[in-house]
Amino acid sequence: MAINKLVSSIVATAVLACSASVSAATLKLSHNHDRNHPVHEAMQFMAKRAKELSGGSLNVRIYPDATLGSQRESTELLQIGALDMVKSNASELESFEPSYSAFNMPYLFRDRDHFYQVTMGAIGEKILASSEDKGFIGLTYYDAGSRNFYAAKPIQSPADLKGMKVRVQPSPTAVSMVEHMGASPTPLAYGELYTALDQGVVDSAENNITSFVTSRHGEVAKKFSFSEHAMIPDVLVISKITWDKLSADEQTALKQAARESSMEMKELWAASEDKNRKYAEEKMGVTFMSIDKTPFVKSVEPMYVALKKNNAELSVIVEEIRNTGV
Ligand code: GCU
């Protein structure tokens, strides 16, 4: 089905169901991973806790595999209230709410502890709240590890990226990062990437180990290089229209369930990276390579200089993030 037709049919169905959906407090949640991805499990936990904490009035129904549309399409449906919740990530949300671009700066977080201090602390909350005027509100973040390049050949330095077409998410910061590293960025939706890699439309992509395996990219890109160039949080967001229809108690219950599920995800994530790395090595024949990250770090330093010069507000947030916990 053509994508426009698909989207209009989803909108029609969802709009019809919309008033019923909220008055019965069944919240539809869309995301683009499969059921084996830990974020699906974390959100099942969230749904269970939301039901318990609201005394049964909140029911979250999860639609995986982008069946209700890509992340971008789902977020657009969310803005008009045709969908209740979406699990997206900071890269995708950047073009809806610029504050999210802070998280997309390369080599921003020192390690996982730093990532958790920021995302679960005051800065994280401020960014979640920042999109209210865009028609949605962030509820929580989910760990999505670090992102790394993969291709048919090893990528050990920016020199190896020269002349390569690298798929990026539709995020201006990701585009700029790949340009600074010397490659040609090709923005594509996640669901189109397997075929694009397989058919040579792009030469390389970048993601975390778990998504690399659950999306089967390891079948078509056998060299995975630990550039660890970004830790981009997944983000659970809710339509402002839906949020305003919930009672204050339901809002509190949902927010608490969401935060608890992020802590659940912390455990699930670490286990999933180990499991998926083993699977990729043993069943997909993927080689994982440690590399010297210094030349990659150096190649993107001008991005921080440019940010300071061109976007004082965002630069302050980025500095606050960098200074957290030091
Ligand atoms: C991660 C993230 C997704 C995103 C994907 C991508 O897997 O969890 O939300 O869509 O990266 O690269 O598009």
Convert the pLDDT of each residue in 113-131 to its tens digit. Answer: 999 999 999 999 999 999 9
**Does the pLDDT value for residue 265 go beyond 60?**
yes
**Does the pLDDT value for residue 151 go beyond 90?**
yes
pLDDT in tens, 192-213: 999 999 999 999 999 999 999 9
pTM (2 decimals)? 0.93
Quick one: which atom of ligand 1 is closest to the CA of 210?
Answer: 7
**Does the pLDDT value for residue 11 go beyond 90?**
no
**Cβ atoms within 10 Å, residue 202:** 23
| Tokens coding 205 | 């992509």
Contact present, 86 and 78 (Cβ < 8 Å): yes
Contact present, 214 and 208 (Cβ < 8 Å): no
Q: Kindly state if the Cβ of 89 falls inside 6 Å of ligand 1.
A: yes
Is residue 182 left, alpha or beta, with left meaning phi > 0 and alpha meaning psi from -120 to 50? left
| CA 144 – ligand 1 centroid, Å | 8
- pLDDT at residue 90, rounded to an integer: 98
The mean pLDDT of the chain is: 94
- pLDDT at residue 190, rounded to an integer: 97
**Cβ atoms within 10 Å, residue 19:** 11
Q: Kindly state if the Cβ of 276 falls inside 6 Å of ligand 1.
A: no
b or e along 101-133 (b: 16 or more beta carbons within 10 Å of the residue's beta carbon)? bbbbbbbbbeeeebbbbbbbeebbeebbebbee
The alpha-helical segments, DSSP class H, found in the chain are 3-23, 38-53, 71-79, 90-93, 112-119, 122-129, 158-161, 172-180, 193-198, 209-214, 240-245, 248-283, 294-299, 301-310, 312-323
Quick one: which atom of ligand 1 is closest to the CA of 71?
Answer: 10
- pLDDT at residue 22, rounded to an integer: 45
Contact present, 77 and 17 (Cβ < 8 Å): no
| 3-state percent helix, strand, coil for the chain, nearest multiple of 5 | 55, 15, 30
Q: Kindly state if the Cβ of 32 falls inside 6 Å of ligand 1.
A: yes
Nearest-CA residue for ligand 1 atom 7 is 211
Nearest-CA residue for ligand 1 atom 11 is 207
| CA 190 – ligand 1 centroid, Å | 7
